[in-house]
Amino acid sequence: MKIITPTELKALLDAQGDVQIIDIRDPEAYAAGHIAGSLLIPKMEIPNKVEDISRSAKVVICCAYGMKSDQVVIYLQEKHKFKNVWLLDGGLYEYARDFNPSMQVL
């Protein structure tokens, strides 16, 4: 499984790299706080929204703590043969702690 750290993701975003961030939390958690530009696809909707996930950009899957994202990464890699899917290490909690302390993570 490919893992990207919050620092690496922040650098990629700052450089305006080709990245798609998929937030797999529920809509209420997303509304409370998320990474700007991220796409909300709740975990249970992933199978019906695979066509919305980029096959060319680096895709970063994130949840609150990084615990649920691994299942989505594995699903996309094994079931749909994605090669460009990464797990955000420590999830949004660590990203917020390091780069956006005012972001609420539910």
Active site positions, annotated? 63
Q: Whole-angstrom Cα distance, residue 96 to residue 79?
A: 31
Listing DSSP states for 50-82 in one string gives: GGGS-SSSEEEEE-SSSTTHHHHHHHHHHHH--
Residue 58, Cβ neighbours under 10 Å: how many? 17
Give the Å distances, CA to CA, from 105 to 3, 12, 25, 95.
20, 21, 10, 10
